[in-house]
Chains A and B, each alone.
Chain A
Amino acid sequence: MNIVVCVKQTTDTAATLSVVDGEASYGDAALVLNPWDEYAVEQALLTKEAEGGKVTALCLGPDSAEDALKQALAMGCDEAVLILDAVFESADTLVVSRALAAGIEKLDPPELVFFGKSAVDSDTGVMGPQVARRLGWPSLNLVAAIPELDASAKTITVERLLEEGRQIVSGRLPAVVSVVKEINEPRYPSFMGIRKASKAEIPRWSAADVGLSGQIQPALSWPEILAPEKSEAVCELIEGGDASEIARKLVDRLVEEKVI
């Protein structure tokens, strides 16, 4: 089974962000494989281990994003492709979804394309469904488990994590599956994997390579980036007496401040 996993490079979640010259700055924080995408990569690898075939990691990003793809290779992906072009610098989801869908169509036809739930920098959380829509495939979004996958019958059953519980959905392959954290426990890259990845030559595709010449005007722009207001809270410690006294004092303060 051919499997594709779309991955993004993001800043480490521990990074401190600030606004410098009107742009978001993450200082010297590390760039990492988007944490949600580790689950997508893991699920792609588990699927391959069960069904055979190969896993291709696909990323649209700048030069540095090659490291995220190397991480995916080190975990066990077979191939990787970086879509990189100056025209994508101010891309929005409309443009990125078009480029990723075009990239997927250029690869050996996959049966499954995995996405993470969301990218921890832009926090848009729509890419999987958008690419699915472009490809005309079922969008199986927010997937927490895949109880059934039948490669020969080309069917899949998933559990989608909705706010109210789980929705059990079955669909036909090819399909797009966006995963949430609960689905698995991502593996660490093996020593051999890291060695192999460090030597890998990752092909780069331009916009023209994936057949995009026009249609790359983003719809959105970002006139201003702001730092949130600093929280004014000064912590008032509730102390003195035993637990019940402290608890009563706390309740009184919450009532006084009209919190409850």
Chain B
Amino acid sequence: MVIVYIDHFDGRAVPASWEALNVGRGLAEELGSEIKAVVLGSDVEGIAQEAKDYGAGEVFLADLKVLEHFRPEVYTEAVTQIVQEQGAEIVLFPTTGRARELAGMLAIDLDTGVTPDVVAVELEGSVVVATRPIYAGKLLTKEVNQARRPQILTTRSRSFQPPEKGTGGEGVITRLELELSEPATEVQGYKESNRGTSLSDAAIIVSGGRGTSNNPSLKPPPEITDEKEQEIWRAHQGFELIGELAKVLGAAVGASRAAVDAGFIPYANQVGQTGKVVSPDLYIACGISGAIQHLAGMRTSKTIVAINKDPDAPIYKLARFGVVGDLFEIVPALTEALREKLDKA
């Protein structure tokens, strides 16, 4: 049996959960085995229903108050119980911060391996041969768990096809009353919950680098006298333009580390080896030179567009399209051109 863990936040499943479910379905079919899903939380019946619609043969639903907030200890306890009870051969998770942690802890409970952030899978008999990036994608490794069970893997967002909705439906939802211990942590609340697309799920990303602050003709208001603050102010104007372009495209906003370190934009937006690794259909890099650590985070984007003043910037080595020019002119022009195009369509 293949079990897929459905990760969700604020009442919505993360899209990568469905991708994982689809991977699980493929593996189960090939193995002549069953595909099941696990949904944990409080008030999450809708998500269980969705898992069924997406093709899970059986959905284990633990809808309990103690599971209201993601807390790794109690969530691990729940998944461990279900996986043990069912005797799953393969357990899949989407690669999110939460699910990766859960997968790691489940592996400890069950004394087995965990293969995070998988980008491809194939079967050799009953053994999953997984491919995953290492060294920030500079290399790939195949990884297998020959002897221990279950095989635990997390699948990278946007590396696999999501399933068609409505392809399942035959399945059942089984409600579980689990005996769970009250964990030693308490969730006090959330802040800065951005409701937009997360970088890892975005189909399009527009990113800004240090170049976003480089517009000497912009005069900061006189009350900003500190040079660093003036630079940040300029960069905010740059990111404003990037934000508008992103809005027209329905894209998420990314950044280079230089932009983050200089205080232009929060760390959560950083793309790269020490930020997020992303793989959108379209990545537009504005005022980003293309340092190796940045490229490591976005090199698998399907189409890369670079906008940079410097024709020799290394980013052009990876870009499909390049515009050599000032982002303060090109980015708003691009926003305008896209608006025109969309109006006509």
Using CB atoms and an 8 Å cutoff, list the residues of chain A in contact with chain B: 11, 13-19, 24, 26, 35-36, 92-94, 97, 120-127, 129-130, 132-134, 138-142, 144, 157, 159-172, 180-182, 218-228, 231, 233-239, 243-244, 246-248, 250-251, 253-255, 257, 259-260
Contacts of B160 in A (CB 8 A): none
Contact digits for B180-205, partner A, Cβ 8 Å, 1 yes 0 no: 00011111111111110011100010
- CB pair B138–A16 under 8 Å, yes or no, is yes
Given that A125-B100, A163-B97, A235-B306 are known contacts, is A170 also in contact with B135, CB under 8 Å in the complex? Answer: no
Within 8 Å by CB of A254, from B101, B105, B136, B282, lies: B282
In whole Å, how far is A10's beta carbon from the nearest beta carbon of chain B? Answer: 9
The 8 closest A-B pairs by CB, nearest first: A126-B104, A219-B113, A165-B193, A247-B333, A182-B267, A171-B185, A243-B333, A247-B337
B188 pairs with A138, CB closer than 8 A: no
Extra contacts, 8 of them, besides A222-B142, A237-B324 (Cβ < 8 A), are A130-B105, A161-B267, A223-B129, A226-B131, A226-B139, A233-B318, A243-B325, A259-B282
Closest to A127 in B: B104
Chain A residues whose CB sits within 8 angstroms of the CB of B50 once the complex forms: none
Main secondary structure of the interface of B (DSSP, over half): mixed
Contacts of B299 in A (CB 8 A): 228, 231
Category for how many chain B residues contact A = 35 or more
Q: Which of A138, A165, A222, A239 has the most CB of B within 10 A?
A: A165
The answer on a CB contact under 8 Å between A181 and B141 is no
> When the two chains form their complex, are residues B185 and A170 in contact, meaning their CB atoms are under 8 A apart?
yes
Task: With CB as the reference atom, state the residue of chain B lying closest to A10.
Answer: B135
Q: Is there a chain A Cβ closer than 8 Å to B63's Cβ?
A: no
- Which B residues between 247 and 276 are near A, CB-CB below 8 angstroms? 249, 266-268, 270, 273-275
When distances are taken between beta carbons in the complex, the residues of chain B under 8 Å from A219 are 107, 111-113, 145, 147-148
State which of B117, B199, B329 has its C-beta within 8 Å of the C-beta of A243.
Answer: B329
Q: Which chain A residues border B185 with CB–CB below 8 Å? A: 138, 140, 169-172
What are the residues of chain A within 8 A of B27 when measuring CB–CB?
none
Q: Are A167 and B190 in contact (CB under 8 A)?
A: yes
Asked if B116 contacts A124 (CB within 8 A), the reply is yes
Q: Verify A144–B267 contact, CB threshold 8 A.
A: yes
CB distance from B106 to the nearest CB of A (A): 9
Q: Taking the nearest CB of chain A, how far is it from the CB of B152, in angstroms?
A: 9
Instruction: Evaluate contact between B273 and A93: CB separation under 8 angstroms.
Output: no
* Contact among A97, A139, A239 for B324, CB-based, below 8 A: A239
Min Cβ gap A133→B in Å is 4
When the two chains form their complex, are residues B273 and A13 in contact, meaning their CB atoms are under 8 A apart? Answer: yes
- Chain A contacts of B293 at CB under 8 A? 13-14
Complex interface bits, B224-255 against A, C-beta within 8 A gives 1, otherwise 0: 00000000000000000000000001000000
A-B contacts, 12 of them at CB < 8 A, read A13-B296, A26-B135, A126-B100, A129-B104, A138-B184, A167-B69, A226-B131, A226-B142, A233-B304, A244-B336, A250-B337, A254-B321
- Are B319 and A250 in contact (CB-based, < 8 A)? no
**Given A165-B191, A247-B330, residue A225 in contact with residue B113 (CB < 8 A):** no
Inter-subunit contact B139/A225 (CB<8 Å): yes
Inter-chain contact A139/B116, CB cutoff 8 Å:
no
Return chain A residues, CB-CB under 8 Å to B306.
Answer: 235
Cβ 8 A contact of A126, one of B114, B188, B194, B340: B114
C-beta contact mask, B83-123 vs A, less than 8 Å → 1, else 0?
00000000000001110110111011101111111000000
Contact of B141 among A11, A130, A224, A239 (CB under 8 A): A224
Q: Shortest beta-carbon distance, B207 to chain A, in Å?
A: 16
Q: B191: shortest Cβ distance to chain A, in Å?
A: 5
Q: Is B223 an interface position by the 8 A CB rule?
A: no
Residues of chain A lying within 8 A (CB to CB) of residue B112: 94, 219
